Chains A and B, each alone.
Chain A
Amino acid sequence: MPKLIITDRSGKKSEIEYDSNFTLMETLRDNGYDIEASCGGCCACATCHVYIDEKWTNKLKNMDDDEESMLDQAFDVKKNSRLSCQIELSGELDGLEIEIAPE
């Protein structure tokens, strides 16, 4: 199974296996990470905000306008900010490193 490397809000790193049928948000939520995702994944809030490790930013599909404009409601937005509900986990992302953004 492909893996993700996750840094949580306390700075702790952990590794989890993922199933490529799920989005990054769903994977984080179902593995018990503290991610609110209050709209349930329809890109209508900004509570599943993550930072993508610089090595990986180019390997993800580009953000659409919806996601970019939803990020306006997030804080501490950086160049590598994404909403995890919009990231579909394909097999090619094996080893993806992400950090959960502050609340």
Chain B
Amino acid sequence: MTDKTDVVIIGAGPVGLFAVFELGLLNIKCHLVDNLDKVGGQCAELYPEKPIYDIPSRPVVTGQELTDELIKQINPFKPKFHLNQQVEKIAKTEYGWIVETNIGTKVEAKCIVVAAGAGSFVPRKPPIENIENFENKNVFYAIRDKSIFKNKKILIAGGGDSALDWTNELSKDSNVTLIHRRKEFRAAPDSVSKMQELETKGKIKFLKGQIKKISKIQDSRIMLEYENDDEKSNIEVDYLLPFFGLKMELGPIAEWGLNLHENLIKVDTEKFQTSTPSIFAIGDINWYPGKLKLILSGFHESALMAQEVFKYCFPDKKNIFRYTTSSKELQKKLGV
């Protein structure tokens, strides 16, 4: 089934969210797609607790607070979110564009707004030679079906929430070893104490070190070589689950034929349109002379982009510029 809307926004970070507001004031409906399992982009994923000091009228706001307030602000416009998926393909249609994600969601829209920040968040893969040959067989960066690990020997690598949570969870039915470069963990204190309790009871093992090599051995098992203070050791397991957080990469956007400037999308500074008409780019992903990667620049870009998108969505209508402070019509849309 294909959904139909006015605009698909790629990226649900602060700028993508605010674009819903600016477009909403002009009666333009939006769907948003994001590869994370939550909205807020870098603000929510990288620095939810860290303070931001340069949002106008907010002397200090954390990444998460900013996200929460933006969600509240755009709520009247009822945007539809497609999370945990990445836009893979776009194709021109008579209506506008059809956007397809890696899990098969299809949305048709008049315009596309790329608000993808520094790109999509993807798992950070350890730089172990040939590891790609074992991916999705012995090595998994995310767990979709935990039943495959039942009664198997597993090595989990990392010291954050994912590593600790899966160590605790999988220890119920599997033989789990956790490997980390030090005995301190950045995961939530609750998960850490649970893991330590399991270790004391002998339900899991802990190794200090960093994995350096992977090789295949019989019965579809793998051998991992790890190092701790220059001392090398080996461990044989069925599965390796590395959890080293996420990194950002441009991904499929690079293949859509948009003119780029060093991995950023070139736009004009009147409409923030890309080299392809009806595809726009706002926020950290775009480039124009003088560009500053600031959230507030992205907010400004949203407002100007919306003026042009209006013409694609309502070619026969006149767009009258109004203020939310005084316009009864805009206030009605906002439900105030």
Contact = CB atoms under 8 A, between A and B. Distances in A.
B63 to A, nearest CB: 9
Interface stretch (A19-27, A56-64, A67-75, A92-100): A67-75
Contacts of B146: none
A55 to B, nearest CB: 20
A13 to B, nearest CB: 22
Contacts, number: 48
Interface string B217-252: 000000000000000000000000000110110000
B127 interface: yes
Interface in A44-84: 44-47, 68-73, 75-77
A42 B50 contact: yes
Contact of B180 (A38, A47, A72, A75): A72
Contact of B46 (A39, A77, A102): A39
A41 to B, nearest CB: 11
Contacts of A75: 126-127, 210, 244
Interface in B182-205: 182, 184-186
Q: Give the secondary structure class of A's interface.
A: loop
B247 A72 contact: no
A72 B47 contact: no
Given A77-B181, A102-B127, A44 B46 contact: yes
Contacts of A34: none
Q: Give the secondary structure class of B's interface.
A: loop
A102 B128 CA distance: 12
A91 interface: no
Contacts of A46: 245
Contacts of B245: 45-46, 73
Contact of A39 (B42, B126, B210): B42
A71 B159 CA distance: 10
Nearest to B49: A44
B47 A39 contact: yes
Interface residues of A, number: 19
B247 A45 contact: yes
Contacts of A39: 42, 46-47
A15 interface: no
Contacts of A70: 186
B158 interface: yes
A83 to B, nearest CB: 14
Nearest to B180: A72
B124 interface: yes
A17 interface: no
B92 interface: no
A38 B210 contact: no
A77 B181 CA distance: 8
B159 A72 contact: yes
A47 to B, nearest CB: 7
B160 A73 contact: yes
B118 interface: yes
Interface string B152-165: 00000011100000
B216 interface: no
Interface in B31-54: 42, 46-47, 50
Contacts of B150: none
B328 interface: no
A75 B124 CA distance: 10
Which 9 residue pairs of A and B lie closest in terms of their CB atoms, listed nearest first? A69-B186, A73-B245, A44-B46, A72-B159, A44-B47, A73-B244, A75-B127, A77-B181, A75-B126
Interface of A: 38-40, 42, 44-47, 68-73, 75-77, 102-103
